[in-house]
Structure 1
């Protein structure tokens, strides 16, 4: 049986989750950038430079698929829209309430303002504490009542058009964020975190192989450069293995749980719990 001597066979890496792989790869790249500035020549050796580029590309992909996205981003947009519509109604209530407090001789439109207050703010802002979709319905009912009662003219007479416009815009944005007045976008395919992690690990092995191969006792400075480039990997402190991660007496990993990969000899086992779904 033929032996294989590729970088993937020769370089043994510590156990790395996707987050840890991002950290280690970033450290390696940062160290390479610093050492390159210290070199008299303008560039790192060509083979190391090309390998560094491949590691940078693999790292960008892993960072992209492990960023918060999907449901988390959707929930955040709903919270932001809910706060905006709550603040818009609160501002309108403050404005209407202020006009209601003026004496009749100072407010010729007092009756209209009182009607508006009774129509929209009879229960003040209690409706803003309701579940999102119910609150949207209550908000819509109040805006519809303002339009039906022609109280848009009341806002205009008293210089409150900006409050009504702000309310309408916040309400429209709220409906879109809740996917009531706008369809819910199609969900993006599940990110291949494991694949991106394996690509970074392969790129680290390739980079480490080329950095180590650069050391030549007959070439001044090459051994120092090689050691410096590999320093983040050489000094990396592996996390303790979790219960059940230990290899059996036969040298094989324990059976993997759902969503995990079985560790083969010489291959790292990522921690699925550390990767976002």
Structure 2
């Protein structure tokens, strides 16, 4: 088994299926931890030069799995055996959600990208907590869990329950496919949320930002500055920069979604650079978007 097998056999076979069915098939396979363990030697690479620290968490390498792949925490142990420095489960919400209607996932093969309008489909907090409590952990891989909601009360409820089972929490205030989240992109509401989270905090907290476009002067939009400054004021451990880029596409049932994949890489670099130029070491940055190789 090697990457040649994936590119010549597995990938073409999966791409014969609609995107969500490919995902479901992958999920079924990944729930068999023995399969991922048998493949782990092909993905594992260790070198001290790759080790890094994020908010006090020691990572064996800086490449992580973003939230969204394992929404219901069904196969995190398998992902933890595939060479990542950290894996992020979720996003988890307090109540179960059906998500948006299908079609809600598109492949853009020419750009090695996806457009999704999933809308946080998930089984809810109770189900996720039960799984997290019983799933084995790989001590070499940091486990992060993404949580979200449309009220401070719901997000704090997720934090209180989930933080016992992970090394860090990521607060998703930026999914372009979920109604009601934008309220936390307003500084007063975000300050209120972060203050409430700090009262219950047991593990590091990351805040996942919406993407932004950097102008020729490398300046940051005012609304993004408000989010950064709220995070700094509240002592948030790191920011994840950034979520998918909102796009319109009539092939999706809701007509719009979030773009992810290789096409995001240059904008991710620009966002990280502009944030670092503006804020220096005041805030740690976890880059997300378009990263396909270490």
TM-score calculated relative to the size of structure 1? 0.18
Q: Rg bigger for which structure? A: 1
Structure having the higher helix fraction is 1
Structure having the higher strand fraction is 2
TM-score calculated relative to the size of structure 2? 0.17
